[in-house]
């Protein structure tokens, strides 16, 4: 949940940065660009149109000026006028009709003058009416002082001029062709009536004049000037604006288009958002399940600790680093001592709980740079990198042992497990991963076989002994196929006087083809590890039964290994063998060790009871070496205890040995048991044991184990 919130915040940010912002920028740029282009286009079109309209107005003005001149010329070049003026007395009526009236009526010339060669008005007409005193007329005066008249040199000329504050078209022409005595002047005010006509022709609206000093009162105007550059007046108009028109035409549709584009963009962004969100979520899910799969591939499901594969990888890395930096790496292989037992008695659930608790204790003990892994049912491993000295590793190993020997509170109750540790140190014990693990395994084996609850550091001799053991196991397997080299010898058990034999103990002997005689102490353990002890032990029992057939009253003691004892169907097998081989269980004493009682008290008791019901006698062998479980004795229905030979041999050496033996004998007798002492080598030991109250004796003082063939002789 938290992850998905984080995701969507991060996703939103990156979506805005990578999609939304660029899109908005593109849209903005597009709109600004299009808007600017539209604006510039409109303005330029408008300006261009205005300039064109101005050129048109100017053209029509110069056209009307030329027309004005042509109108005047039509009279000034008229011969009858020259003729008429040249005749001494001018006929005013004729002039009125043919000049003043005619030009006004015909062409609207508002002022017409006939000037003599000194520019004195001979005759003048205002709006077609003759003036009585032309020189006194203000308009006439204004025209006479105008630049055009003052500079007039050519035969005819026309120009715009300001007359009495009004704009006017002025034309002048010599009357007659050569050496003119008179000139004709025509004036037309460029008033609004004139402009109205122009407006009609050009379809320009709002055409009107304004005075030079007047402020601009229309959107467009230009200054009409005379040829001399003198301002005549402003011509104003409402310009046609094709750009604005176009804008008006396309504006709404453009707006709609923009709106549609923006809606489309919005829609696309929304779709992109959902699809990218889905994509990134499914990618995240994919990533998570991939990480999960990866985690599963490299971690133990029960404890979450690194599994064998990951530990191996870490170890390889640590070794590579150690080689580069000349550092040391330690490997601790940890095995729980009583896991199988706890699993069997309390159930798998308790076993799982124990494993989890062990994992937690281990994890709490190591440094962050170390790796704790689970590599098997109850096997753990610690990879310690950057080790400065062996003391550091030993301290950790001891801490682990101490921690794991504390009781574990499981849901089914408290249990004690304990552990054994094998440790190796790289590069001293090698730099190859497999080699190191193998050696740690050997050291662990040594720790276990030397009594558990210990750590052992690998030593070269261990390796050799392991190799020897493996060879021996292989040879033993071969020997068992035909029992070649194997034999059962018998050591007598004597009564307390040492005079009468009360029975024999069957003891295995192995004459190895190349190594010679190998002591049981050296191969029994190997047979136990490999499981070969089961067929081997059964064979000994069978041999003992055969011996019994030969010596019917002989009591034979047979050693039973804990491995046999715990194997399923043990009691049935024993019974069956004795029946098959014609033995008598009443005279067969099975020697078991204290260890089997401890391992699983409840089951051990059941087996012992079953064996006794089948007729077997039970002896507790090597008493005093294991757990000194004097208290247990009362709860196990055995027939005999055999005091270990270490006690016998401590007689006269250790001060309290007599006292110990005495108390054991007392306890044994209190429970109605026979007490046998083993390893009696001297008469002194014999008498001390007799004094202590022992019932039977066994030892080299009487005899070593002898082959079956010599047993008859010996008994006699
Ligand atoms: P154990 O059951 O305690 O057998 C007695 C051992 O003490 C025998 O050693 C015997 O030779 C030795 N011994 C007897 N008297 C003396 C003495 O006065 N001084 C000394 N120093 N030793 C004496 P062995 O035959 O080497 O057997 C060693 C162990 O091997 C036995 O100890 C027994 O635990 C085991 N073992 C022998 N045969 C069998 C067998 O058939 N089955 C099983 N499961 N274990 C066997
Ligand atoms: Ca024995
Ligand atoms: Ca013994």
Atom of ligand 1 at shortest distance to CA of 591? 2
Instruction: Report, as an integer, the average pLDDT of 368-374.
Output: 93
Whether the per-residue pLDDT at 512 is higher than 90: the answer is yes
Whether the per-residue pLDDT at 628 is higher than 70: the answer is no
Q: Are residues 411 and 492 in the same domain?
A: no
pLDDT at residue 219, rounded to an integer:
82
Domain assignment present for residue 220? The answer is yes
CB 558, CB 541: distance < 8 Å = yes
Q: Are residues 591 and 551 in the same domain?
A: yes
Q: What is the pLDDT of residues 193-212, one digit of tens each?
A: 778 877 887 778 888 888 87
Q: Are residues 184 and 74 in the same domain?
A: yes
Q: Does ligand 1 have an atom closer than 6 angstroms to the CB of 528?
A: no
pLDDT at residue 355, rounded to an integer:
95
Candidate of 487, 524, 570, 622 to mutate for ligand 1, largest count of ligand atoms within 8 Å of Cβ = 524
Candidate of 678, 680, 682 to mutate for ligand 1, largest count of ligand atoms within 8 Å of Cβ = 678
Domain assignment present for residue 34? The answer is no
Phi then psi dihedrals of residue 644, to 5 deg: -60, 150
Phi then psi dihedrals of residue 400, to 5 deg: -65, -45
- Using the 3D structure, point to which of 411, 443, 458 is the last residue of a domain: 458
Q: Whose CA is nearest to atom 2 of ligand 1?
A: 559
pLDDT at residue 1, rounded to an integer:
42
Q: Which of 184-193, 487-496, 535-544 has the lowest mean pLDDT?
A: 184-193
Q: Which of 15-24, 215-224, 265-274, 510-519 has the lowest mean pLDDT?
A: 215-224
Whether the per-residue pLDDT at 6 is higher than 70: the answer is no
pLDDT top residue among 696 and 43: 696
- The total of structural domains in the chain comes to 3
Q: Does ligand 1 have an atom closer than 6 angstroms to the CB of 621?
A: yes
Domain assignment present for residue 619? The answer is yes
Strand 486-495 relative to strand 501-512: parallel, antiparallel, unpaired?
A: antiparallel
Q: Are residues 504 and 420 in the same domain?
A: no
Q: What is the pLDDT of residues 20-58, one digit of tens each?
A: 898 899 989 988 998 898 889 888 988 898 888 888 888
Ligand located closest to 533 CA: 1
Chain-centre distance of CA 91, in angstroms? Answer: 120
Q: Are residues 432 and 511 in the same domain?
A: no
Domain assignment present for residue 266? The answer is no
Q: Are residues 193 and 322 in the same domain?
A: no
Whether the per-residue pLDDT at 247 is higher than 70: the answer is yes
Whether the per-residue pLDDT at 344 is higher than 50: the answer is yes
CATH number at residue 394: 3.30.70.270
Q: How far is the CA of 591 from the centre of ligand 3 (A)?
A: 8
pLDDT at residue 89, rounded to an integer:
65
Domain assignment present for residue 69? The answer is yes
Q: Is 464 exposed, middle or buried (0-12, 13-18, 19+ CB in 10 A)?
A: exposed
Q: Are residues 653 and 538 in the same domain?
A: yes
Q: What DSSP string describes 268-322?
A: HHHHHHHHHHHHHHHHHHHHHHHHHHHHHHHB-TTT--B-HHHHHHHHHHHHHHH
Q: Are residues 70 and 214 in the same domain?
A: yes
Q: Does ligand 1 have an atom closer than 6 angstroms to the CB of 589?
A: no
Mean pLDDT over all residues of the chain? Answer: 89
Any bridge partners for residue 503, and if so which?
A: 493
Q: What is the CA radius of gyration of the chain?
A: 68
Query: CA nearest 111: which of 123, 125, 98, 99?
Result: 125
Candidate of 487, 503, 507, 681 to mutate for ligand 1, largest count of ligand atoms within 8 Å of Cβ = 507
Domain assignment present for residue 35? The answer is no
Q: Are residues 150 and 199 in the same domain?
A: yes
Question: Percent of the chain, pLDDT > 70?
Answer: 97
- Using the 3D structure, point to which of 193, 215, 237 is the last residue of a domain: 237
At 500, is the pLDDT very low, low, confident or very high (cuts 50, 70, 90)? very high
pLDDT at residue 398, rounded to an integer:
96
Domain assignment present for residue 279? The answer is no
CATH number at residue 164: 3.30.450.220
- Using the 3D structure, point to which of 441, 458, 475 is the last residue of a domain: 458
Instruction: Report, as an integer, the average pLDDT of 106-115.
Output: 89
Question: Percent of the chain, pLDDT > 90?
Answer: 45
Instruction: Report, as an integer, the average pLDDT of 226-231.
Output: 84
Q: How far is the CA of 610 from the centre of ligand 3 (A)?
A: 23
pLDDT at residue 90, rounded to an integer:
64
Q: Are residues 454 and 490 in the same domain?
A: no
Query: Tokens 């849209």 map to which residue?
Result: 27
Q: How far is the CA of 201 from the centre of ligand 2 (A)?
A: 146
Q: Are residues 566 and 653 in the same domain?
A: yes
Atom of ligand 1 at shortest distance to CA of 561? 44
Whether the per-residue pLDDT at 467 is higher than 80: the answer is yes
Domain assignment present for residue 74? The answer is yes
CATH number at residue 542: 3.20.20.450
Whether the per-residue pLDDT at 7 is higher than 70: the answer is no
Neighbours of ion ligand 3 (CB under 5 A): 621-622, 678
Q: Does ligand 1 have an atom closer than 6 angstroms to the CB of 417?
A: no
CA angle 448/438/469 to nearest 5° reads 60
Q: How far is residue 329's CA from residue 393's CA, in Å, rounded to a whole number?
A: 9
Q: Are residues 551 and 424 in the same domain?
A: no
Range of the domain at 221: 48-237
At 2, is the pLDDT very low, low, confident or very high (cuts 50, 70, 90)? very low
Ligand located closest to 525 CA: 1
């Amino acid at each position: 949940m938290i992850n998905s919130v984080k995701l969507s915040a991060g996703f939103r940010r990156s979506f805005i940065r990578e999609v939304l912002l660029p899109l908005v920028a593109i849209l903005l740029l597009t709109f600004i660009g299009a808007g600017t282009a539209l604006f510039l286009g409109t303005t330029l079109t408008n300006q261009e149109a205005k300039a064109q309209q101005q050129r048109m107005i100017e053209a029509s003005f110069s056209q009307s000026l030329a027309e004005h001149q042509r109108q005047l010329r039509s009279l000034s070049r008229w011969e009858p006028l020259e003729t008429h003026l040249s005749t001494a007395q001018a006929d005013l009526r004729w002039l009125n009709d043919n000049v003043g009236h005619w030009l006004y009526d015909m062409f609207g010339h508002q002022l017409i003058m006939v000037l003599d060669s000194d520019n004195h008005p001979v005759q003048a007409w205002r709006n077609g009416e003759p003036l009585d005193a032309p020189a006194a007329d203000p308009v006439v005066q204004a025209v006479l002082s105008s630049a055009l008249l003052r500079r007039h040199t050519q035969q005819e000329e026309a120009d715009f001029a300001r007359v009495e504050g009004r704009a006017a078209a002025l034309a002048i022409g010599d009357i007659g062709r050569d050496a003119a005595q008179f000139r004709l002047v025509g004036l037309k005010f460029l008033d609004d009536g004139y402009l109205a006509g122009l407006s009609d022709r050009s379809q320009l609206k709002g055409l009107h004049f304004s005075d030079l000093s007047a402020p601009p009162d229309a959107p467009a105007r230009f200054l009409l000037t005379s040829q001399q550059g003198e301002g005549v007046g402003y011509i104003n108009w409402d310009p046609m604006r094709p750009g604005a028109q176009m804008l008006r035409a396309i504006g709404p549709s453009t707006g709609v288009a923009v709106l549609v584009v923006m809606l489309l963009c919005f829609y696309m962004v929304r779709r992109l958002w959902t699809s990218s969100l889905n994509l990134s979520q499914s990618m995240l899910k994919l990533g998570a399940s991939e990480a999960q799969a990866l985690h599963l591939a490299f971690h133990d499901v029960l404890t979450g600790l690194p599994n064998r594969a990951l530990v191996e990888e870490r170890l390889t890395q640590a070794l590579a680093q150690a080689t580069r930096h000349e550092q040391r790496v330690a490997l601790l292989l940890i095995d729980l001592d009583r896991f199988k037992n706890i699993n069997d008695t309390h159930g798998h659930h308790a076993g799982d709980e124990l494993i989890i608790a062990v994992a937690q204790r281990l994890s709490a003990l190591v440094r962050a740079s170390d790796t704790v892994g689970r590599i098997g049912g109850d096997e753990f491993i610690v990879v310690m990198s950057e080790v400065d000295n062996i003391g550091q590793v030993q301290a950790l190993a001891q801490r682990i042992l101490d921690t794991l020997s504390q009781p574990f509170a499981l849901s089914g109750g408290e249990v004690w497990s304990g552990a054994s540790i094998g440790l190796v140190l790289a590069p001293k014990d090698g730099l190859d991963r497999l080699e190191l693990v193998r050696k740690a395994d050997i050291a662990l084996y040594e720790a276990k076989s030397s009594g558990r609850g210990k750590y052992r550091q690998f030593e070269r001799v261990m390796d050799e002994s392991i190799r020897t053991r493996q060879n021996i196991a292989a040879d033993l397997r071969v020997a068992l196929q035909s029992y070649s080299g194997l034999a059962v010898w018998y050591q007598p058990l004597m009564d307390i006087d040492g005079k009468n034999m009360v029975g024999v103990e069957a003891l295995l002997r192995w004459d190895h083809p190349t190594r010679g005689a190998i002591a049981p102490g050296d191969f029994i353990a190997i047979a136990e590890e490999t499981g070969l002890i089961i067929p081997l032990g059964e064979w000994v029992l069978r041999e003992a039964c055969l011996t019994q057939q030969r010596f019917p009253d002989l009591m034979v003691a047979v050693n039973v290994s804990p491995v046999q004892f715990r194997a399923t169907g043990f009691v049935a097998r024993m019974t069956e063998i004795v029946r098959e081989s014609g033995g008598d269980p009443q005279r067969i004493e099975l020697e078991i060790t204290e260890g089997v009682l401890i391992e699983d008290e409840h089951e051990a008791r059941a087996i012992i009871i079953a064996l006794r019901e089948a007729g077997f006698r039970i002896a507790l062998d090597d008493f005093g070496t294991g757990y000194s479980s004097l208290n247990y004795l009362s709860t196990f229905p055995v027939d005999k205890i055999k005091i270990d030979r270490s006690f016998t041999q401590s007689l006269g050496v250790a001060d309290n040995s007599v006292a110990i033996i005495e108390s054991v004998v007392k306890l044994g007798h209190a429970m109605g048991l026979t007490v046998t002492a083993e390893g009696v080598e001297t008469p002194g030991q014999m008498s001390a044991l007799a004094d202590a109250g022992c019932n039977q004796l066994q030892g080299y003082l009487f005899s070593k184990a002898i082959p079956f063939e010599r047993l008859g002789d010996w008994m006699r």
